[in-house]
Amino acid sequence: MNIFKGSWKTTVLGWAGLIGALVAAVVAFLSDGPGGVDFEGLWSSLIVVFPSLAAIFASDDSNS
């Protein structure tokens, strides 16, 4: 299975966004605030997941 089926740049940026969202979610869960979990930070990290997945699975110009 070739994960770089489209533009490798789009795929790399998609994975970078997904990894960044994962790191942000972990930071939100480990927050030592009054509520224990930073739900705003968690929500912000989840919003990034779907565009990142779209970029990973996009099959745009393969000549790039």
pLDDT tens digits, residue range 15-64? 999 999 999 988 888 877 777 888 888 888 889 999 998 888 887 665 54
Query: Rounded to whole angstroms, how far apart are CA atoms 61 and 44?
Result: 30
Q: What is the pLDDT at residue 6?
A: 60
Residue position matching structure tokens 């070739």: 2
H runs (alpha helix) in the chain: 8-29, 39-57
Residue 20 lies in domain: 16-54
Q: Which two tokens stand for residue 60?
A: 């745009």
Query: Rounded to whole angstroms, how far apart are CA atoms 45 and 41?
Result: 6
Tell me if 60 is assigned to some domain.
no
Tell me if 7 is assigned to some domain.
no
pTM: 0.73
Tell me if 50 is assigned to some domain.
yes
Query: Rounded to whole angstroms, how far apart are CA atoms 58 and 52?
Result: 10
